[in-house]
Amino acid sequence: MYLLRLAIQSLANRRFSALLTVIAIALSVTLLLAVERVRTEARSSFASTVSGTDLIVGARSGSVQLLLYSVFRIGNATNNIRWDSYQQISAQPQVKWAIPLSLGDSHRGFRVLGTSQAYFDHYRFGRDRSLSFSQGQPFSDLYDAVLGADVARELGYQLGTDMVLAHGAGAVSFVKHADKPFRVVGILARTGTPVDRTIHVSLQGIEALHVDWQQGMPARGAGHVSAEQARALDLTPQAITAAMLGLNRRIDTFALQRQINEFSGEPLLAILPGVALQELWSLLSVAEKALLLVSVFVVLTGLVGMLTAILSGLNERRREMAVLRSVGARPMHIFSLLLLEAVSLTIAGIALGLGLLYVGIAATRPWLEQQYGLFLPLGWPTDSELALLAGIVGASVLMGCIPAWRAYRQALLDGLSIRL
């Protein structure tokens, strides 16, 4: 205990350099833990981009491809699902609710999703959070549209704004549905998911846009159907892109998945969104690991700075070591003293780094949750974070041994002997 007290007093005599070392370690520890916490929460948030959905059904393709176009609105489906097939699947006794999804159109680079009221009732994200409206209400008219938060912000749209949808999913389209404009009736609250960049309309609205299309082009002349004429037509969809299913009992998930994958009406694929999300995350985890590796090197840089500061002061402290030897300190005591100084600086840096981390989380948590859907908890360090901190302390012990050994050797070279 007296050695620890002596180490602290020695650091206090060199408080300026010691404080700079502690700050350097604290900043690197804050960065490392912040990256680890964001990485963990980003993975959790990514895995819960869609939650509460037991199965996603689409045309037979790959599970990641189905996930990309149905949840992330990336890419296009290889084929559609017939409406009667969707009705058969949604009528199964295991199915509690079903959300139809129809993709294919866009507006100024934002994807348009045709769906039903069930989307607003049952879609969940994050920790079982439901969709909410910052303005307006769900669509009720044939030509109503509900915007995601990013769509409204980037395009500057408000309630009542008229918008013309375009055919296809590209940012630029030469074929527009100018004869059937939609009106904004609702704007969703930010979710931090692809919902924010999606324009939602009814399935019947999607059908109305294409009711007079032939071979991928709008009809001309007598074959053209106006917006008002479309209201009087049967706008039951012929096909949809995908569907989300919620089951009465989770235990039925695998049985229904196998039943859909073996569906005799047409080739279909049912995936578990959680499994597919983890598969997709594993493909993207290289950048995540690289970022963590950079943070580890930043911490090592801080520890090397501490090592340099202690080593550079050894020659200046020879007199201090000689005084300690003159009052009975052994070379091993000198070794332990230098080692305790290194560990004390590291522990102080970790404590300050944790404090900075929690202050930063408290200050930025509302903004991160609103902008990116990331919820960073203010709880105690997790097991993985404690393992990182233990690794930092262990590295400081190893690095502290270098100046401690140098001081030990200097004590011997100064003509002092070892008494065990």
For the stretch 314-349, pLDDT in tens is 666 666 666 666 666 666 777 777 788 888 888 999
Q: In 60-113, where does DSSP find H-type helix? A: 63-70, 83-90
The Cα 149–Cα 230 span in angstroms is 29
Domain boundaries, the chain: 2-46+285-413, 55-271
The Cα 352–Cα 349 span in angstroms is 5
**Radius of gyration of the chain, Cα coordinates, nearest whole angstrom:** 32
SS3 193: coil
Looking at residue 39, its pLDDT comes to 79
Looking at residue 55, its pLDDT comes to 95
Contact 19, 353 (CB under 8 A): no
Secondary structure letter of residue 311 according to DSSP? H
What type of residue sits at position 250? Answer: R
Looking at residue 326, its pLDDT comes to 63
Size (the chain), residues = 420
Looking at residue 174, its pLDDT comes to 58
Name the stretches of the chain with pLDDT < 50: 415-420
Contact 82, 173 (CB under 8 A): no
The Cα 418–Cα 406 span in angstroms is 15
Looking at residue 177, its pLDDT comes to 81
Reference 107, options 148, 139, 77, 135; nearest CA is 148
The DSSP H or E segment spanning 318 is helix 318-326
Contact 298, 304 (CB under 8 A): no
The DSSP H or E segment spanning 323 is helix 318-326
φ and ψ at residue 74, rounded to 5 degrees:
-115, 130
**Structure tokens that stand for 406 in this block:** 């140098």
Residues in CB range of 106: below 8 A, 6 or more apart = 112, 165, 166, 168, 169, 170, 171, 173
The Cα 44–Cα 194 span in angstroms is 16
Contact 107, 163 (CB under 8 A): yes
